[in-house]
Chain A
């Protein structure tokens, strides 16, 4: 029989539960993977665990331990209850049948639970190499690559981001590269930073997309740095009191350098925001099946057009810096708006070889970021 009695600050508990809740299975209520494990450790610390085997999240939280022990509670019910209580304090007490009682002010809930022993055993990797990375820099890597991961389950290796850490251009600097591709487009971001704990060795990992999405939550925490741990088939992310353990996709990431054009025939410098807005306007008239818009380039001018036999047609013109040949090229508008929305700066550079070859987008103010988008054959 489980024992546990805790007195917790409502906001602290809610913060921990909302992070852990991102990992657990929200669809099923019976599965053990839909549950969170709340337990006290021998040193009197308190931790909350959630897992779906691929991603495990562990959060430590402060609170008063009245009776040590553990409880395993359905994540969604706990989340919903803690979210909605009014009082600042929450008391959690394990009941004889593995349920828990959650009391806050005059609210009292009894939530169904399962035996803590049934919660999957989390094997913490024995040897972990930790590197400490400035958080803002790492967030930039994630924000600029996460949108082009693949959802196609038959191409598992693309269902995540590729991360490489190696020696930088000068002593004391390390180079971080993050790449993602869904087979139609590719995002690559490189930056250099001082990494504590990095001796210049090259390490790589493919982080599963589920881990990437959860990572974004950790990146929102207050701390200035994030620790990245490499351990066998796992990669760990630690920030504040929260640690994510993500199973790596064990495969060879494709040789992305091959699909990045080394030269281009036609180079245009475009006002980034104006183009982004024009693309979004044109998107109104694309069909939900093809998402196609066309860019018509001629010296000094770019037109964004869309047409659909059922809805109508639209055309948006803007002045650009361009002295190449006249060209009409089709794109999935999502691919353009994702990139134009992810980069910063006044202008964006578009490099086109022809209407069937990879097109490159970059931002002069962010030299480390490069995006390749394949056109649509019109």
Chain B
């Protein structure tokens, strides 16, 4: 297998700097108002030199570099550019697996441009992106997803790094365990506790000893640490959940205001659900209190729904019945839908309390129309 991982460089800020020449060469942050409580969604390379990175609070970013230019995110614009980039991927292969708006795996073992070497395919893709969008991307090439993804990060920005099969074992062995797929902070702590710092340390430890500490995950990690990763590039990623959350400018104790925010979010999440043509079975409400403790409460419905009214009722019921909203100040509130079923899947019809039988028939007529919009995910 020849896998390519392509990752756009500082995607949001690069788009802004391309569209607005006055921002070029300056530290730019896409995110919320630094006087408010927004977070950094993306930082340009100029901003990163000051230690600014995504997920940092905008206030902190501003402290680190008062000269930084804050730009409001223009999500729709980024999606537009992302579509152009994705179309370029599809010139090369049908096996494209988008990971997010700005990165994707490509299986180029067989490719549509007739190039033998994956490194040539990578160069071709990078050049096409530059030509069509004016933006740079970094690419990693390897015999599997794990290696390709780590490689694309190796020479950022505008990088290209190729790990040929015979080099994989050494390349992976030298990596800190945190770089392995599936190793989060908790697993990393446990591994460090065993004195395992690198993938090489990990793979040299006998499996039974690892299983005692990591359980089932041990076997998978052991393979990854040896550079073995058999995950396939799957062209369309099934959407798993659809969510929204909102951080308030000031902590909110007023239940009415919380309900209002939740209702707004339900409306947008349900709209997104209909764009990806799914119904959802589970509604989850998330609340973060002023002391940053965060809770989620969910309910699974008997039948999947795409009705805003149903989702709103359940979400509000969870908020008022199962959280301390209204009693404790709330910093953030959100709602997520999951447990998806395709809208063409068999659906239990409702008894026609209000002429619903006609609606059901109309629903059948409407299904099958409407644009298939994978971007909405």
CB pair A357–B302 under 8 Å, yes or no, is: no
Residue B185, interface by CB 8 Å: no
* Chain A, residue nearest B355 (CB): A258
Complexed CA–CA distance, A100 and B266 (Å)? 53
Complexed CA–CA distance, A332 and B353 (Å)? 20
Pick from A152, A259, A377: contact of B346, CB under 8 Å: A377
Q: Mark A337-377, 1 if CB is under 8 A from B, else 0.
A: 00000000000000000001110000000000000101111
**A residues adjacent to B (C-beta < 8 A):** 151-154, 181-186, 254, 258-259, 289-290, 292, 330, 332, 356-358, 372, 374-378
CB pair A376–B351 under 8 Å, yes or no, is: no
Pick from B341, B353, B360: contact of A258, CB under 8 Å: B353
Residue B313, interface by CB 8 Å: yes
* Chain A, residue nearest B345 (CB): A290
What are the residues of chain A within 8 A of B353 when measuring CB–CB? Answer: 254, 258-259
Residue with the highest number of chain B CB atoms closer than 10 Å, among A183, A185, A377: A377
**B residues adjacent to A (C-beta < 8 A):** 301-303, 310, 313-314, 317, 341, 345-353, 357, 360-361, 363-364
Count A-B contacts at CB 8 Å: 59
What are the residues of chain A within 8 A of B303 when measuring CB–CB? Answer: 184
Complexed CA–CA distance, A254 and B356 (Å)? 15
Complexed CA–CA distance, A32 and B361 (Å)? 51
Supplied contacts A290-B345, A376-B346, 16 more A-B pairs, CB within 8 Å: A153-B317, A154-B313, A184-B303, A184-B348, A184-B350, A258-B352, A259-B351, A259-B353, A292-B346, A330-B346, A356-B360, A356-B361, A357-B357, A374-B350, A377-B346, A377-B347
CB pair B352–A376 under 8 Å, yes or no, is: no
CB pair A184–B351 under 8 Å, yes or no, is: yes
CB distance from A352 to the nearest CB of B (A): 13
Complexed CA–CA distance, A154 and B307 (Å)? 14
* Chain A, residue nearest B364 (CB): A377
What are the residues of chain A within 8 A of B361 when measuring CB–CB? Answer: 356
What are the residues of chain B within 8 A of A357 when measuring CB–CB? Answer: 352, 357
Question: Across chains A and B, which 7 residue pairs bring their CB atoms closest together, nearest first?
Answer: A259-B351, A374-B349, A292-B346, A377-B347, A376-B346, A356-B360, A357-B357
Pick from A154, A258, A289, A356: contact of B349, CB under 8 Å: A356
Question: 18 pairs across A/B with beta carbons < 8 Å?
Answer: A153-B317, A154-B314, A181-B351, A182-B302, A183-B350, A184-B303, A184-B349, A259-B352, A290-B345, A290-B346, A292-B346, A332-B348, A356-B360, A358-B351, A374-B348, A375-B349, A377-B347, A377-B360
* Chain B, residue nearest A258 (CB): B353
Pick from A152, A290, A332, A358: contact of B301, CB under 8 Å: A152
Complexed CA–CA distance, A332 and B360 (Å)? 17
What are the residues of chain A within 8 A of B351 when measuring CB–CB? Answer: 181, 183-186, 259, 358, 372, 374
Complexed CA–CA distance, A15 and B128 (Å)? 81
CB distance from B334 to the nearest CB of A (A): 20
CB distance from B203 to the nearest CB of A (A): 35
Complexed CA–CA distance, A358 and B351 (Å)? 7
What are the residues of chain B within 8 A of A152 when measuring CB–CB? Answer: 301-302
CB pair A377–B350 under 8 Å, yes or no, is: no
